Amino acid sequence: MISQSESVIAVLKAARRVWAVSAVHGEVDRLRAIHNQLEQHFTPGDRLVYLGNYLGYGPRIIETVDELLLLRRAMLARFNLFDGD
């Protein structure tokens, strides 16, 4: 049996809003479209959670992983967002 502490992956402290993205399946163009919208609306205190299925059966797996990493870098480079946000 899994204890409660073992079942917790992350705690989203003081989240203003939680944005959830799931079932990407290597569809990098769709992921970029979501990221473009997020960049326009994401503010300090918001949280972004990817729920899995990044790769799946999509045609452009490597580009999808690159896009996931690029958004993190872009968000951290914003003057008003911090790693603790």
Task: Give the closest residue to 85 by CA, choosing from 7, 33, 17, 32.
Answer: 17
Which residue range forms the structural domain that includes residue 51?
15-77
Residue 2 placed within a domain: no
Residue 31 placed within a domain: yes
The domain tally of the chain equals 1
Residue 49 placed within a domain: yes
- Judged against a pLDDT cut of 80, whether residue 72 lies above it is answered with yes
Residue 4 placed within a domain: no
Residue 10 placed within a domain: no
What pLDDT is recorded for position 59?
79
What pLDDT is recorded for position 65?
94
Residue 9 placed within a domain: no
Residue 1 placed within a domain: no
Three-state DSSP at 19 gives: strand
**Where does residue 37 rank: exposed (0-12), middle (13-18), buried (19+ CB within 10 A)?**
exposed
For tokens 């402290």, name the residue: 13
What pLDDT is recorded for position 83?
57
Instruction: Encode pLDDT of 20-69 as tens digits.
Output: 999 999 999 999 999 999 989 988 888 899 998 888 787 799 999 999 99
Residue 82 placed within a domain: no
